[in-house]
Structure 1
Amino acid sequence: MSEWALPGFTELKALGKGGFGRVVLARQDGTGAEVAIKYLYAEHLADPRLVDAFRQEARVLAQVVSPHVAKLHEFVETPQGAAIVMEAVPGVPLSAILTAEGQLAPEAALVVLKGSLLGLSAAHAAGVVHRDYKPDNVLVRPDRQSKLVDFGIAVLAGETGLSVGTPSYMAPEQWAGNAATPATDVYAATCVFFQCVTGHRPFEADDREVLRNLHTHAPIPVGELPNSLSGLLTRGMAKEPAARPGTAAIFLAELEATAVAAYGHDWESRGWTRLAQRAGALLAVSPLAMLAGATMLAPAGAGASAGAVAGSGGVVAAGAGGGLLVKAGAILAGAALVGTGAVIVVNTTTGDDEPPPPPAVERVAMTADVRTRTENFGTFDFEGQFVAISGLADPVLQDRVNQALMGPVDGWIEYVRQVGTDPATDTPHLTTQAEIRRQDERVLSVRYTRTIESTQFGNRGGFSIRGVTVDLTTGEVLDAPKVFADAAATQAGATALEERLLARSPGGFCGGVPDEERRPLEPQHLTEPYTAGDGDPAVQAIFAADTVEFNVYGPAFGGPMACDHVPVVVPYAEVADLMTAEAAALLNRGGPAPTQRVDLGSFTLEVPAEWRRADLGSTGLLLARSADCVLDGCPGVRIIYGTTDEHVPGHFCDEAGAPDQVSTGAERIKQDLRPIGTKKAAYEEWRVTCSGGASFVERSWVLPKTGIIFVDAWNTPGLDRILESAMWR
């Protein structure tokens, strides 16, 4: 008995098989468009659990919209079979590249991680956790793009379930069967990043139980990465989910800052060079090689014939699967379709001999795509990316939004045109790279990285970062002056914003700038052109899904020219009170509790935003757990510096035990080694008895080589996680 095939499509190549189903490359008969079709095995059709899981994958793909995630075109279910019709990606799995290369240069590994985080960020913004991120599920394209695929076991964030996933990349909470969160995907992506750099997985074992213990308890192997990348590994592979970046978007901003600091602004271009070459070579001998000249799915208004499956902004016509098309709600059970880029359909029969007439063709919901523009202006040329939308019901509004999205590209070209170029010197090449940082029913945000390859614009050419955030209901551009109106109008408002930024950037925007040379943030830094190019302000804001991504030009605040652009990422919760009421309601969708980074000299700690630092004279300092408590008796963490003495417990009976009491004895109840960032501390717990009968447990972390002791007699919540994520200089 032959396997069921979706009517209207001709199978071209088998792409793969698994325990769940098979995937083929197919051509749609009516249009010539080539797609990937994932078929559920016929023997699974009688199992409601497996069929529902197959539907769930279609639901997830419908919700996650990103140029870094393979698109869903159609879902079809009949009594004879079920199929998911997806974008056919002309790329090769990262696993194939790793097999061929062994390991990647750090810049290339960072490129892989960045593309993956962009795809995961779109999933997290839709409330979806992938749960099975691994090299097989990352497709790398020769055109310097990557796509995330296979959401077969994805769940909504916060859902619990079986310990499913690929063991080599499973986070500790997955091994325990606990709730999946975006931090679960961050862990897996960091494991793959480690593998890209080193050529092997962070933890390896043949026995599953041994592997579980390694992921759950073994130290993070930071010593195998360059020092400049160890912070990413420490954060991304933290054992506790709360110690990792809360979303892929937050981690992405940290990656950008790390990559620029370690490898310069052109790190991404260099990273893609070798990666794209290898992807092209492997693609040439793969079943997808024919996609290099494949027909793309018909765009809106292109005259697609009946039976066409829509591409970006297209239509789905009756007959696109050989039967009755039912509205998406029948399969999605109310899931939002805004931004899905396709109408999901399901084939059904009604029990009658003749099916009822198909419903009318519907427009597809709004989609945003990264596209390429190429122009030659005689004395200079341009080839770069831009973002454009399609599918809005109001064509005037759609044009307004697209003009705003094209603004950073047009501005970059106009800048070079006005400055002028010398053909005798060289021909400047202008480029832009576009990244969608947020896309929902109301807001679209894009980050443009703009470059000029020419010695006429400096030793390293021209460089600029420009963000654009658009309100999709009005076409209005939301920038820092509009959102932070008080900071753009008054010095008091600018100072308040500066305090929030510095809390996330210990040591200043450029680090190491003496106080007498540091320049304060002023309103004009948000409103007036400062840098070269077409006039970027010294402080820009890109409004991403969970955070405000500030781009700060360091030299404007006393830093050397080498500081250039400094990213400062701040959760909405930390700056929402500085926004206009309208902007806060539109942009701030809640998030994790705000934190701050405290600079303690040789290391920094990320602590709750309400904590404060208080100096204790020669004995060290206190990280107080409450911002409004007095110093005496204030609960918090004592940090003792420069001591070579052993720690003697019991000094804090009068604070942690009871007033006016002293210690009458201490019994050690626990002793082991625990991490403080990349260092190991001698950890002890003592049961302390006070003179009035009160008792408490005092904990200490001793680092003898550094002369630092952390003392906690107040059972400080989350302290283990805080110390584990310490960043040493």
Structure 2
Amino acid sequence: MPGFTELEPLGEGTFGRVVLARQDVTGHLVAIKYLFPWFVTDTTQLGAFRQEAAALHRVADPHVARLYEFFETPQGAAIVMEAVPGVSLRAILEADGVLDPEAALALLKGSLLGLAAAHTAGVVHRDYKPDNVLVTGDRQSKLVDFGTAVLAGDTGLPVGTPAYMAPEQWAGGPATPATDVYAATCVFFQCVTGHKPYQAQETEVLRNLHEYAPIPFGEAPEPVRELVNLGMAKRATERPASAAVFLGELERFAVAGYGEDWEERGRTRLAQRAAALVAITPLAMLAGATAALAPGGAAVAAGSGTAIATGAGGGVLVKAGAIAAGIAAVATGAVIVVSGGDEPPPPVVAAAPLRASVVTTTDRAPGSTVPVNAQLVQVTGGADPALTERINQQLRAPVDAWTRYISDAVPGWGPNTRNPGVRNNASVRTHTDSLLVVRYEHRTEGAPHATWDMKVTTLNIDLRTGRQLGPKDVFADSVVTDDGVTRLMREIWDPRDCPETAGVTYQAANLDNPDPQERPIEFALAPGGVEFDLEMPALGGSTACGARTKTLAYTEAAGLLRPEIMALVPKDGPAPTSRPDGGPRQGVAASRLVIESGGRFTVRPQGLEDVVVDLPSRSCPDPRRYANCAYFMVTDNTKESAEQPRYEPGKPYRRSANGRACNAAGRKDLWQDGDAVLLEERPSTVAGEQATYQRWEIQCVPKGTRGGAGEVKVTQQVWYVPGREEVVLDEWNTPGLEQLLANATWR
């Protein structure tokens, strides 16, 4: 597109790629959807792309992403539209698994308002799904991607996303507003249950389920079961005739089930979750800004007599109302640009965004001798170059400090030390207009002992001043005393996890020790709570206790933090009301993985295994007794003991101390020592690294028996990461676990 500078890729779809771009003249941010170049001569795909622009032109509503321009030449085509500062519903569901019923209802209401506007304009979306719903931090949701939309009553091809397609879509019947109602109800069901209404590997089986299987409304919360039953009726004539009609039913069930204020609670919770996720995307720079296009100057096209205007992209802008004629005119080779409105809103100039990204450096700190292959966070942009540089100096300092520390230590490692070096991982925990929180995991190559392997450093930087926030800036005066630190430790640490620490008192001076190697506690102001990294040997524990990550929800930390910090932190919705032994948390650390879960999990150590308890999956009143709860386990396979030998790749998981009972089958008296059959093996991904996934069926037999069939059996799911020697075991079929593992990070 002429007149625009591409900033970031936002994704790819059926027809093309979408980028975030800045209009060169005004500085406005927009989303541009480019048709893939190989489709320019494909009349079917090019026609569908034009059709999307036509559909967006017809629908003008706050709950639908706004069309600014449709630009087409013989060399390509593009749709310029509103850049929505939000994240997809799919991203939220992948992070959280399920939504509170009020939040799901609020999202459904916003979507129905957008669909109602489309239906009023005679347009049926035909592909409503979590990917096509964007949720913003200002409590709104918007529909995007009208690439398969048609006019109501048109038959069209039987297109859509199989998991949400209405029975009439499978048969290629006419598209009606009731088709969109069905898809929206399927997505709502997924929001409140954590899974799609019908699931199958084969498309034909999925079609039969949508056409003939009973509606699974009983799995939804009781107050909305009838709403699900209504919206997923098999016959289109038995569903609400349009989104507007269904919206009235939604209001009735929502008020009856959750009270008059259901929408306020639901929208607030949804917006808070979206804001936390959008903060780590390229669209974070849109916060507080309006992506508006400036009106161009009026002119008259030579020889046409048609009033036109200069478009934002510098092309010829045909005013609204001429879209059908404009598309037809493409055959002549003319440049066609269609505007979505007669007078776009006046420009709103956003402040220069300050962006944070993870980069890799091999530069050594002055005076160091060991090789470096380290990640660190850098910021770019910003209105004040001096401030940006000051922030980058703060971000670089911990990497250099660790490099110098290891370089000084290497001579004492002895003559057998080989290939010493420094590497580290970096992650951005929080990035708002005022706060940047970064976590570094400093690692060592060739160290003589495992206790040298890793040190964590966290940085909480005030982006307004470029200054790092220390303990005295963050914690109340009553906390930064010896007694206060001891009380703080009692809040975040259960001594039973490392008995050597029981009765230990702590010194406030160590909280901000200028030598990072002497600081036993690091803290990060993360979404949902304060994350503490604890070096247990420095807190009185043995080296076997290792390092632990604990999270204290902000509702529980309110009396410990200064009021100005409480106003600054990125609260991620209402924090959990109970926190047995440090959980539930917004993100949990298990072995070397950090798994984001929206407070769904808590972690209990079991020797060399970390047990990740799935709190809402079933009755789990006490996570300490996790044998009564659903859980999965994460373990570092580089470590072993006489009781817990290493996991052997290609075999069932048996490294648990004293063997594995058949808890998942409800039989604690039987053991997983019977016959085992490998049901499935395939590649997978864990935290960005290649993994092998295996699914085993194992017979449960009396203890002491080896082999044979048993009364019951369990299914083991095992993810093995050879590059990290990390193993994940799941016997409870934890919903969404594979996606959670794919999105996890290493610590």
Which TM-score tier does this pair reach, normalised by the shorter chain?
Answer: 0.3 to 0.5
TM-score between the two structures when normalised by the length of structure 1: 0.44
